[in-house]
Amino acid sequence: MVLVILQHSYLSVNMKAIPPLVDFSIWDMTGLAAVAFVSISGMMYSYFLYTRSDWRTAYRRYARRAAFLLLAAHLAVNLAGYYFNAAGKEFSSSAHAVWSLIVFNFPITDMIAVCLLIASVFIVCLGSAMRAAVIIALLVSAVFVRACVVPADPLWTTIQEATFGVLDVPRVFWFPLVPWLAIFLSGSFAGYALACHKKGTLEISATAKMINRGGFFLAVSGVLLVLGYKMLKIALGNTWNHNIFLAIYPGQTTTLLPGYLAVLAFLLAGLVKQIDIFGHYNRLFWLLSVLGRTSLFTFVIQFAVVESVPAILGLKGALSFGGFLILFSAGLVVVWVFSYIYGRLRGWIPGNDYAVCVKTAQIHGQSVQELTPAR
């Protein structure tokens, strides 16, 4: 969630004042935000399905959650970011503005809602190998369609934009279902490992090792894919269709994806080790956990804080790099305070929450140490 706030704060920067190398670095780094948001959603969803005796009951609960995302969250996200999205645009009427920016504008939460409705088939009915094959097939098909299919009809262009994605800048669907469903499903492997630990069939050290092995495989795959793209561009850039290279250009759903997922895997494995093996739980973990436990509220409110407020103040596209850092820092603090207050009001974060978390982590650490034979 911190990366989400960082990325959305950067949208108010005057891009002409930012060196290209810095600009590319920030976009590549913050590209992890959406991937993490979707993949972690898939991890928690699959964990919930795997740890329930009747997955159908769990599915019905998440189906209601999906409906909430498609209705209430859709409106909340678009209302929170309304002034930012409207800044610098002209509309024929207020009704046109409402239709374009609130009704017919589809945030990432809409795509996650659709994934919640259809992903259970792949998670429950398919083994790990088949699920990995489906993920690869989804990603490859999205690249193929983007590279080879360029609809002339606006309706078919919109349909492709919503499903496989397009090479041009999207008009309304920034998160096409097919490649992002693959990213959602990628979290199911970590969800399965954590569920096995929850059921007592996998020790926590083995869980961390399993996630680390997956991260290593993804990291190697990511390096090979990026190098392969560079070599193809050098060798065949003048002979192959330019659309092919646009379709596989390093990004969130193409050649950078394995690297993003590897970072997530290493972070998750490290967090598991830190808390459950060593019993360490510091204030940084707790501060970040507040944003995680109120993730939907945090996601909505940050649009208002770091996007709409600067737009109302006339700062959209006007900030220097220093101004961006100030906006990010101040925005992060403000969002955290709002999220903490919301969590307290909902009863998710009790007054002695930090002390309870520390004690729980210490108990986990002592239990593991007692079960671990001395070397």
Does residue 69 belong to any structural domain of this protein? Answer: yes
Task: Give CA separation, 355 vs 283, 350, 358, in Å.
Answer: 10, 10, 5
Question: Do both 172 and 79 map to the same domain?
Answer: yes
CB 105 within 8 A of CB 172: yes
**Whether residues 108 and 209 fall in one domain:** no
300 in a structural domain: no
Tokens of 21: 């190398």
Q: Are residues 118 and 258 in the same domain?
A: no
Does residue 171 sit within a domain?
yes
CB of 136 within 8 A of CB of 127?
no
pLDDT score for 328: 95
224 and 175 part of one domain: no
Q: Which of 213, 244, 277 is the last residue of a domain?
A: 277
Tell whether 60 and 174 lie within a shared domain.
Answer: yes
Domain count, the chain: 2
For residues 226 and 250, state if they share a domain: yes
Regarding whether 211 and 130 lie in a shared domain, the answer is no
Same domain, 151 and 262: no
Long-range contact pairs involving 148-155 (C-beta distance under 8 Å, separation at least 24): 148/243, 150/243
Q: Are 254 and 246 in contact (CB under 8 A)?
A: no
227, 253, 277: which is the final residue of a domain? 277
Which CA distances in Å does 344 have to 188, 298, 333, 347, 348? 30, 14, 17, 5, 6
Contact 84, 308 (CB under 8 A): yes
Q: What is the pLDDT of residues 67-99, one digit of tens each?
A: 999 999 999 999 999 888 888 777 766 777 777
pLDDT averaged per 10 residues in sequence order, the chain, 375 residues: 90 86 86 92 91 84 93 93 84 73 88 94 91 95 90 87 86 90 94 84 79 91 90 77 80 89 90 62 77 91 94 90 93 95 86 62 47 37
Query: Residue 107 is part of which domain span?
Result: 1-187
Domain for residue 297, yes or no? no
- Domain-located, residue 65: yes
Is 96 inside a domain boundary?
yes
For residue 281 the two structure tokens come to 């739980």
Quote the pLDDT of residue 104.
83
Do 17 and 126 reside in the same domain of the chain? yes
* pLDDT digits 0-9 by tens, 108-150: 999 999 999 999 999 988 898 999 999 999 999 999 999 888 8
Q: What is the four-CA torsion angle of 238, 148, 165, 5, rounded to 10 degrees?
A: -10
CA gyration radius for the chain?
22
Shared domain for 221 and 176, answered yes or no, is no
Are residue 101 and residue 248 in the same domain, yes or no? no
Domain boundary pick from 187, 219, 251:
187
Q: Specify the pTM.
A: 0.87
Rounded Cα gap, residues 336 and 343, in angstroms: 10
In this structure, the answer to whether residues 148 and 178 fall within a common structural domain is yes
